[in-house]
Amino acid sequence: MRSTFKVLFYLKRDKQKINGMIPLFCRITVDGQEVRFGMKCDVNPKYWDMKTGKAIGRTAEASKVNTLVDNTKAAIYKVYREMQERERYVTAEKIKNVFLGIEQKHQTLLELFDSHNKERKELIGINVTKGTYDIYRVARQRLSEFIMFKYNLNDIPVKEVNRQFIGDFETYLLTQHEYSKNYIVGLLKKFRHIIELALNREWIYRNPFKGFKLQSQKADRGYLTQTEIETLMDAKFEELRMEQARDIFVFCAFTGLAFIDVKHLTENNIQYSVDGKMWIKGKRRKTDTEYNIPLLNTPKTIIMDFHVHLPALIFRSWLSHKSARFYYSSM
């Protein structure tokens, strides 16, 4: 892969010393990303040409500085050419580290993902839902498959993730898996969170997701008409558990609560206002926002029916039943 590459020498004027001399620095730029390092050499600013990046004059000092500049530039270019031949990714940081002889420990993408997912798994039921953990797990698996598919590698350093990598990964998800656009956006958002972790840990200094648009499609979820709801409410089922599942669905429809919120309802959530009317009060599990919902006659009847059979908890006991959860999730 071709890349833009430049080496520049300059004086770091904010580090001027008492004797007037200024440290000489080198800047390496690859594809717009820069790294800098000091040359351990001081230069008199009067004898420095900013345009050429060299010392001017025929003094021994100028000759020494220019020899250092030329040798350094030649060595860096050599590192760059060799790296292009043997590696898929060339970065300014890698060139600098090779030139300076720094043994760099690469923080890899999938290792970071694994560490994150392990922490999330331990928090399931505390402040992480299993559904959230599962999508992180899928995102990690699809990334692993993509890296092998595209680069024939088991992992890559986090620093080598760029806009091209993200775009190629999105294309891979679109073409190799039968996922909806919105599900792919969800996977990419989890991937973006991992990159933000790398930023926070200062493993990388620029976010490759910056400017990368994650646009969900507006989903048409459909809706039930009044007639359809009434038909469902009047339907007779042979099995009690089917009627109970129907009642939970209707309860959600009349209160606007999500299934997970209904699952965790207890008698403490049912309160009376000063005028004697019943309300459901609590916090939504997904957003942690409070809700206050007046209890209409239909959901009130459902609560009373369940209350007779389940005096300790209104719904929780029944909803913990495996077959009922399976039925509702398939509706």
| 293-307 confidence digits (pLDDT tens) | 888 888 887 777 664
The answer to whether the predicted template modeling score (pTM) of the entire model surpasses 0.85 is: no
Q: Please write the tens of the pLDDT for every residue from 175-223.
A: 999 888 899 999 999 999 999 999 888 788 789 998 888 877 676 666 7
In this structure, the answer to whether residues 84 and 170 fall within a common structural domain is no
Query: Quick one: 116 and 92 in the same domain?
Result: no
Q: Is residue 220 part of a domain?
A: no
Q: Is the per-residue pLDDT at 311 higher than 50?
A: no
32: left (phi over 0), alpha (psi -120 to 50) or beta: left
Residue pair 235/198 in contact (Cβ under 8 Å)? The answer is no
Question: Who's near 47: CB < 8 A, 6+ residues apart?
Answer: 55, 56, 57, 59, 61, 62
pLDDT in tens, 8-57: 999 999 999 999 999 999 999 998 889 999 999 999 999 999 999 999 98
Rg, Å, the chain Cα set: 31
208 assigned to some structural domain: no
Same domain, 53 and 115: no
Answer with the one of 100, 131, 147 that is the final residue of a domain: 100
Does the pLDDT value for residue 312 go beyond 80? no
Whether residue 221 lies inside any domain: the answer is: no
Say whether both 129 and 81 belong to one domain.
Answer: no
Pair 122, 95 in one domain: no
Query: Residues of the chain with pLDDT > 70: what percent?
Result: 87
Find the domain containing 115 and state its range: 109-200
- Tell me whether residue 114 is in a domain: yes
Q: pLDDT tens-digit profile of 228-260?
A: 888 888 888 888 888 888 888 888 888 888 888
Among the candidates 35, 66, 100, a domain finishes at: 100
Q: Which of 70, 100, 130 is at the close of a domain?
A: 100
- Report the candidate in 9, 99, 16, 85 with the shortest Cα–Cα distance to residue 51: 9
67-76, 86-95, 119-128, 227-236 — which is least confidently predicted?
86-95
Phi, psi angles (nearest 5°) of residue 44? -75, 120
CATH number of the CATH domain containing 308: 3.90.15
**CA distance linking residue 331 with residue 328, whole number of Å:** 5
Q: How many structural domains comprise the chain?
A: 3
The number of helices, as runs of H, and strands, as runs of E, in the chain is 12, 8
